[in-house]
Structures are given as C-alpha cells and as structure tokens.
Amino acid sequence: MLGRVSSPLPPNLAHWLSLLGPETLVPRAEVRTYPAGGETPPSPEPAREASLARLEALREEASRCTACPLHEGRKNSVFADGDPKASLMFIGEGPGRDEDLQGLPFVGRAGRLLTDIIEKGMGLRRAEVYIANVVKCRPPQNRTPTPEEREACGPFLIEQIRCVHPRALVALGATAARYLLATEAPMRRLRGRIHMLEGIPLVVTWHPAYLLRRPEAKRETWEDIQRVMRILGLSAPRRPGGHGSS
C-alpha cells in the first residue's frame, strides 16, 4: 500500500532525474505539453482549495475517531500544525503529554528542539512548514504506537501528505520512517539516502526526543537536514559576522 511509489513526479523533474539516476521511469500518461498559443494549463487554485477543505474535514474526522483504543485516553486529537501549503513536511510518531493537552504536535522539549532545527538550522519559520504525526492520539505513558494503532490512524497521515503535497518529507524517527516506507529496516539503513513516497523525496532522520537522550546524534541529524535543504534549494542561515552554518 505504501512505500516507494513512483508517481506523481515532483515538478522539478530534470533535477530529480539527475539525482535518482537513469533507472527512474517517467509515467508516460502523466506527461502533457501545452503548445504556445494553444490550450493553457489548468489553474492549480481549485485543486488547492479542495485540498484545504479536505484537510479541515480530516481534522474534524480525526477529532471524533474511535478506530483504535487510543481515543479512550485522549484530551485532544493532535492533527497537525503549520502551513498546509508548505514545501516541507515533518512527520513524527505521535503526541506526548504536552501535545495531548494543547492539541498541537511537537510543543514539549522535543518540539522546541525541532523548532530550533527548522529556524536556526534551516532558516525557516516553524509556521512555514507542516508538522504531523503517524497517530493522532497520545499512547499511554508515551509508549511507541502498536502496529494496529499505526494502521488504524495512518490513513489520516497519507491523506494529509496528498493534500499538502510538499516538495520534501522528513520522517522523524523509526516509527514514522517504517510506517511510511512499509519496512522494518533499522535506522542505520534508512538514513543517509533519499527515499520516494508517491513521487515526493523523503529523508529519514533521528527523532528530536532521541537527540535529547543522545546529543551526539545531532551531527548525523544535521547531515540529514542539509540533504533536505539541498532538495529545497535552501542555503544555511548566516550567523552574526557573515558566516553561514557549517
């Protein structure tokens, strides 16, 4: 159902073909040209408005969801935060205590670290990206969501990805990466490369909560984030004194 799906292709096709290599196939049915002076391409705005409406409907549906036992202990469903038109989407595991209380993802200590990665590391504002989780309700004692819980809640996430259709995805930690890529591979095999999910480049990195326990992993995380920045054509923000991040 999930995993490395080859379509639709990202808009900067030539760039991605050069990155992915000659074995990448272009679905012929999705290639269409518009000759000069002839038919004009359809406007993306109606589709975008439909996607925004769909996201709001999904948010409401998630707030009433009883598909798995996690709903029994929730104070709030935690659907998403950020810009639904974002070029970059971060995906975590599930809400913790702070997220459950506030109804927003990544607002505790791990969330503050993620905000630093986005703003200090990437030079973006947190409000410019879109943030979601695999499960929308807090697992008891912040445990890892079970496979049944991930499968029950995961379709919300897949619809979110399709509605936002960012230029890049970042899976934060093993739970998100394994769900999205339909694999049980360890993180050491999932990191350090660009995966594809429904035509969108996906980079796997460590969860911010892991970085709080293992600060030495921040160097690897920065390598992953730099890979994402190259996908998006971003430069590291300049530090005082005129030097960029290294």
Q: Give me the CATH number covering residue 161.
A: 3.40.470.10
Q: Which residue has the tokens 């049944």?
A: 148
> Is 10 contained in some domain?
no
> Is 38 contained in some domain?
no
* CB within 8 Å of 4: residues ≥ 6 apart: 181, 195, 196, 197
> Is 227 contained in some domain?
yes
**Rounded to the nearest 10 degrees, how much is the dihedral formed by the CA atoms of 110, 115, 117, 119?**
-170
Q: Are strands 200-205 and 81-82 parallel, antiparallel or unpaired?
A: unpaired
Q: What is the pLDDT of residue 80?
A: 98
Phi, psi of 119 (to 5 degrees): -90, -45
> Is 210 contained in some domain?
yes
| Token pair recorded at residue 49 | 């408005």
Residue 212 has, within 13 A of its CA and on its CB side, a CA count of: 11
pTM above 0.85, yes or no: no
Is the Cβ–Cβ distance between 173 and 93 less than 8 Å? yes
Q: How many domains does the chain have?
A: 1
Calculate ∠ Cα 51-150-75, nearest 5°.
Answer: 80
Q: Measured in Å, how far apart are the chain's first and last C-alpha atoms?
A: 39
> Is 4 contained in some domain?
no
Q: What is the pLDDT of residue 47?
A: 84
> Is 199 contained in some domain?
yes
Q: Whole-angstrom Cα distance, residue 37 to residue 104?
A: 48
> Is 170 contained in some domain?
yes
Which residues in the chain show pLDDT less than 70? 1-44, 239-246
Helix (H) or strand (E) holding 193: none
Q: What is the pLDDT of residue 236?
A: 81
Q: Whole-angstrom Cα distance, residue 111 to residue 80?
A: 13
Residue 118 belongs to what domain range?
A: 49-234
> Is 178 contained in some domain?
yes
45 by Cβ neighbours in 10 Å (0-12 / 13-18 / 19+) ranks as exposed
Q: Are strands 88-92 and 130-133 parallel, antiparallel or unpaired?
A: parallel
Q: What is the pLDDT of residue 13?
A: 36
Instruction: For the beta carbon of residue 236, count every other beta carbon within 10 angstroms.
Output: 17
